[in-house]
Structure 1
Amino acid sequence: MIEILVIGIGSGSPVHLTEEARLAMNQVDVFLVADKGPSRSDLATIRRELCAAVIDHDRYRFVEVPDPARDRTSDDYDGAVQDWHAARVATYADILAADLPAGGTVGFLVWGDPAFYDSTIRIAAELSGDVRVIPGISSLQLLAAAHRIVLNQIGQPIHITTGRRLLAEYTPDLGDVLVMLDGDLACEDLVPLHPDLQIFWGAQLGLPAQALAAGRLAEVIGDIRATREALRGEHGWVLDTYLLRQP
């Protein structure tokens, strides 16, 4: 029997790892890591360094798996994502059959917390094995801590969405809005309609390269774009999130 551990690792820093996650990592025989190409090799390196820092034996191993291509041109977004997930499941199933034929424990190390806009739990559920999920510190929590803010105003709601859906959904009645997966900074298009809207933004949260910005969206969006490009140029990737708040 194969046991599958989906482990939230927060920012990838050992100090942000929960004790439950550390114990779970010490049980893993094989870590499966999606290989997203040389531009994102840092992401695999951070995972390897985290394991070296917290695992107290050398019996585990890493298998880097070339990530299947995702169709980003399709008008059927949900269908394209489901096809991508199915291709991942098939790839991982082949590797588990070859690497753990007699059973064992496989681990997936997930940035932040696996509950927020991440496909790993869905993919793990399609594999043959017992699935256990270990929560991690999310980027939303790190964002709030870095800016020393509460994510909602008194008695008000929080709305969590993605950059792809932001413009269609946004209204001040939503309360504070947390936005994830916004590679194009769609929030800039809200400036003409909501000129006083505030933003609390953070990238590479919890890592040495952490960058923050806060203020009126209209005034700081240019600096945020420039910082994102600088981070991408230096590291090959950017992981960021932000909170939008009416004053």
Structure 2
Amino acid sequence: MRKILVIGIGAGDPDHLTLQAVKAINTADVFFILDKGEEKSDLVRLRREILERHAGQRPYRLMEAQDPDRDRTAATPAYSPAVGDWRRRRADICERLIRDGLADGECGAFLVWGDPALYDSTLGILEDILARGAVDFDYSVVPGISSVSALAAGHRTGLNQVARPVQITTGRRLAEGLPEGVDDVVVMLDAHQTFARYQDEDLHIYWGAYVGTADEILISGRLSEVADRIRAVRAEARERKGWIMDTYLLRRGPAEDTAGG
């Protein structure tokens, strides 16, 4: 039986790896890497750095493939079909990597940014491959430090206020309105800076880009006062690097009223 490990590697800092993740890395024979192109070559370089630092001198193989392009402009209701098409094409590639690169009895690994359980497609894709029935394997998951937890740590704040819930959503969903009954909203995958729509609300924002990397940028404050600054800094950073990954927390109420314990 082939074995697959889905290893959360944190938000970008090689020191974010848990001891469990390091142990898992040292059991894999093959590491599968999907290259997102020249603009995001930093992501491949960081994976290689993680392996050089934590895999030691033991022999292992790397198998790389080009990640398929995804239509990120599709509007609702076309968004879900566009994501489904991208996942099918990604599953085709991953199925080939596992079939051709992993012998019976060997262990392969996917190194997943952040935590595999939070807005990542790897687990769903592996289930799709198993459902096809052409390649058989067992898999397990090693949790990682997400950009959400790294963002909160960087800003020295909790994600929720005392006895209040926190909701994690996307920029696409936030565009439909602020959720009712929730004072703390973490927003991921927001290419359109949707927070700017709510500058008239009594909100604080804790924003971060390239969280956990050497390029990390953190800005916080009353949304009405820092929204324009965030948009300018974000645009400059994206122009400079060619890509950006950012996450933020929107909070109703006093910025300092965070949860403890």
Instruction: Tell me, yes or no, whether TM beats 0.5.
Output: yes
Check whether the contact 1:167–1:190 (CA below 8 A) recurs between aligned residues.
no
Map Cα deviations across residues 22-62 of structure 1 (whole Å, 9 max, x no partner): 01011112211111110001100000001100012342122
Q: Identify if the C-alpha distance between structure 1 residues 73 and 234 changes in structure 2 by more than 3 Å, giving closer, same or farther.
A: closer
Letter in structure 2 aligned against 1:105: C
1:103 Cα offset (Å) = 4.4
- Distance in 2 (CA, whole Å) between partners of 1:126 and 1:29 is 23
1:71 Cα offset (Å) = 3.3
Map Cα deviations across residues 61-115 of structure 1 (whole Å, 9 max, x no partner): 2222111232345442222212211111111111222222444111111111111
Check whether the contact 2:208–2:246 (CA below 8 A) recurs between aligned residues.
yes
- Asked whether 1:225 is paired with 2:231, we answer yes
1:233 Cα offset (Å) = 2.9
The percent identity for this pair of structures is 46
Q: Which runs of 4+ in 1 moved over 4 A?
A: none
- Aligned residue number for residue 168 of structure 2: 160
TM-score, length-scaled by structure 2? 0.88
Check whether the contact 1:172–1:246 (CA below 8 A) recurs between aligned residues.
no
Query: For 1:121, which of 102, 120, 123 is the aligned residue?
Result: 123
Letter in structure 1 aligned against 2:203: L
SS at match of 1:97: helix
RMSD: 1.6
- Distance in 1 (CA, whole Å) between partners of 2:247 and 2:71 is 24
Check whether the contact 1:6–1:107 (CA below 8 A) recurs between aligned residues.
yes
Check whether the contact 2:4–2:138 (CA below 8 A) recurs between aligned residues.
yes
TM-score, length-scaled by structure 1? 0.93
Check whether the contact 1:4–1:130 (CA below 8 A) recurs between aligned residues.
yes
Query: For 1:235, which of 231, 238, 241 is the aligned residue?
Result: 241
Letter in structure 2 aligned against 1:227: V
Gap runs ≥5 in structure 1: none
Letter in structure 1 aligned against 2:178: Y
Letter in structure 1 aligned against 2:87: H
- Asked whether 1:189 is paired with 2:191, we answer no
- Aligned residue number for residue 101 of structure 2: 99
Check whether the contact 1:12–1:50 (CA below 8 A) recurs between aligned residues.
no
- Distance in 1 (CA, whole Å) between partners of 2:166 and 2:26 is 36
Gap runs ≥5 in structure 2: 130-135, 254-261
- Asked whether 1:145 is paired with 2:153, we answer yes
Letter in structure 2 aligned against 1:135: P
Letter in structure 2 aligned against 1:71: D
Letter in structure 2 aligned against 1:111: W
Check whether the contact 1:9–1:21 (CA below 8 A) recurs between aligned residues.
yes
- Asked whether 1:4 is paired with 2:4, we answer yes
- Distance in 2 (CA, whole Å) between partners of 1:106 and 1:235 is 31
Check whether the contact 2:172–2:190 (CA below 8 A) recurs between aligned residues.
yes
Q: Identify if the C-alpha distance between structure 1 residues 5 and 140 changes in structure 2 by more than 3 Å, giving closer, same or farther.
A: same
Deviates more, 1:44-53 or 1:84-93: 84-93
SS at match of 1:168: coil
- Aligned residue number for residue 35 of structure 2: 35
